[in-house]
Every structure is written in structure tokens, then in C-alpha cells.
Structure 1
Amino acid sequence: MNDCLAKEAGAMDNCTRVIGDVKYEEISPEMWQRVETIEGTLYIENTDIENLDAINKLTIIGLSTPALVISNNKKLLDIAALISVDIRSEEPAIKFEDNTLVCHNIVERQTLKEWMARNRISVKFTGHCCKLIRFLND
């Protein structure tokens, strides 16, 4: 693994382990493809992202709690990638709030609910979810 400090992560091409607290938008999409581990807290706040695919298979080793903060992402629809994120932290490991458009089909929703129960978090799925899925598929 190639280590880098959080403040250097955006400028280093070969960094696979980031040490320190990271703000999601400070790292490019290309860099997220290389990062395997964060030792610190990952903040995904006030972004325009629609999914969490960039953090698929990420390991987060929380040096403080929460290790993962996902809040105020007004366009966030798809959080399925969370299922593959390995979070090692004291409780509460995750803070999830004010992401009002989260939407999944029944099967994905059940899998996510099981994952959320294991990780002691709750997510409110939008009440218009079925209509939204139908609209996006048309």
C-alpha cells in the first residue's frame, strides 16, 4: 500500500491508503478508483452525487466516531455501495442524515435494511420511490 496524508491525497497518483479525515469532493473520481483504505473519517456532505459507487469496496478504519458521515446530499438516490464498505470503528460508526431522495427497489431495500440493522443506522427511503424508479426507467 502507498500511504499519503489526507491533505496530499488529491495530488498523489499512487496513493491507496489515505491517513486522516477526508472530504469526498476533495478527491477526484480517478483517485477514488485507487483508494482502498481510509484511516480516519470520510465526510460525504453537501455533494451533488447520485450514488456512492466511488466508495465501493472501501475500507474505513475510524480513528474517531463516526467513521463515515453522509449528510445533506440532495441528489443522492443510490446507496447500495455501502453494503461492500468495510467499516472498522467504535459505535456509532456511521452518521446518515438529510439525504432525502434515497430510493431502491424492494429487493435492494431489504438487503440495505439488513446491512443497516447490523451497522445500527436507519435510512428513510423516499415515499415516491416506486414512482421515481418507474420514471427513470421510462
Structure 2
Amino acid sequence: MVVTTDDELRAILGKETIAVVGCSSTPGKDAHEIPKYLQNQGYEVIPVNPNAEEVLGRPAHDSLSEVEEGIEIVDVFRPSGEVAGIVDEALARDDTPVIWLQLGIHDDEAVSRAEAAELRVVQDRCIKPEHRRLLASA
């Protein structure tokens, strides 16, 4: 289901383990600063970036399928054209209940497939301001 309410967002943000697909090792980029913010808020951030060895002090994985830890949220910082493959990888896992597509990232067909598999989907929202608005300010 596509998540639209603050209560649903709060429930998602209450999870602890976030795999960040496209997590950048370059300070200053949103794909680095937002996962860093999440890590500083106590989330376990699992970087997924085939072009990096390490991000935010953690080993970077080449793909979601290589992540051995359980994943509660897949946060996507990749172009919309890559969402379908990322959703396929998430669907192949048994432990990924939420797909979060950052601002400007859309793929309605992939979102429909995720919904059909009973995953919760947040589309075109940035996790950092949502966290600040719903949890950090509480």
C-alpha cells in the first residue's frame, strides 16, 4: 500500500534497519548526508553502493541481495529508471516490508508490484524532513 498518513509514516520511521540503495561516500551529497543523519538518529544504516568499499564507517554492499542483515526499510537514492530492479531485489527478500523512494523518484509500475506483494511504499518524499517533522520534534 502507498503510505499517505502521518500515523503510517510514524510507524515506518519507528523501524530500526534501513538499507540505503545509492548511499554515497561523498560528503555534501544528499545520498550521503541523509543516511548520515539517520545513522546519527540511531538507525542502523546499511549502505548499498557497488562503487564504494565503505560508507559511513560501514562496509558497502554491491546490491540488496548481498545484504545478510535483516532490512526493514529500503531507502532509494537512485534514478527512477532503476527502481524496478531495486523493487525486484526487495521482493526476492523475505524481510523488506517498506520501500521508500526519495524526492523526485517515481515508478508507478514498480510501486504497483510492490503493493501487490503487500509491501508498504513511500514515494517522492524525503525521509529526513519526515523524520524531523514526525519524530525529532515530538
| TM-score, normalised with respect to structure 2 | 0.34
Which structure has the bigger radius of gyration?
1
The higher-RCO structure (CA 8 Å, 6+ apart) is: 2
Q: Which has the higher helix share?
A: 2
